[in-house]
Amino acid sequence: MSDKRENPDQIPGEENIGETQKAISEQGGITGERKEVNVESYGKVASLGQILKDLEFPANKDKIIKFLKSYVTDKDILDKLEKIKDKEYKNVAEITHETDLVY
C-alpha cells in the first residue's frame, strides 16, 4: 500500500479548529433547506476523512478497520470504528455518521 498523503500536516487538527469549522460552514451554505449537523470533533472527522479518501468504496467493516489500523493511532477513533455495524459502506460520510462523530 503506497502512502498517497504527500503533506500530512494539511490534515486539520484541534490546533486549527476555527479554519476547519469555517470550511464546513461554507460547504453547508447550499441554496435551499439547511441541514442541521453536529460534529463531535472537527479534528477527528477531518483526520478520518483525510485517511479514508484513499480507501476504495464500497467497503465493509473489516476492510475499513484493517485499512485504518495502518494509519490511525487515536484509540478513541479505533474504538468507535470497532462498534460500527457490519455492513457495506458507500462513502466516508456513512462511516462518520455510523461512528457518531457526525450526527
* Number of domain units in the chain: 1
Q: Does the model's pTM come out above 0.75? A: no
* In-domain check, residue 103: no
Whether pLDDT at 95 is above 60: yes
Better-predicted residue by pLDDT, 79 or 28: 79
* In-domain check, residue 51: yes
* In-domain check, residue 19: yes
For residue 60, give its domain range. Answer: 14-24+37-98
* In-domain check, residue 52: yes
Euclidean distance between CA atoms 34 and 37, whole angstroms: 9
* In-domain check, residue 32: no
Provide the pLDDT for residue 35: 58
Euclidean distance between CA atoms 76 and 20, whole angstroms: 20
Backbone angles phi, psi at 102, to 5 degrees: -125, 130
Measured in whole angstroms, how far is the alpha carbon of residue 68 from the centre of its chain?
11
Provide the pLDDT for residue 53: 87
Place of cell 504527500: 6
What's the mean per-residue pLDDT of the chain? 78
Mean pLDDT of 47-68: 91
List, in order, residues 6 or more apart from 52 with CB less than 8 Å away.
Answer: 64, 67, 68, 92, 95
* In-domain check, residue 78: yes
* In-domain check, residue 80: yes
What are 89's strand-pairing partners? 59
Provide the pLDDT for residue 43: 81
* In-domain check, residue 4: no
In this prediction, residue 88 has a pLDDT band, given cuts at 50, 70 and 90, of very high
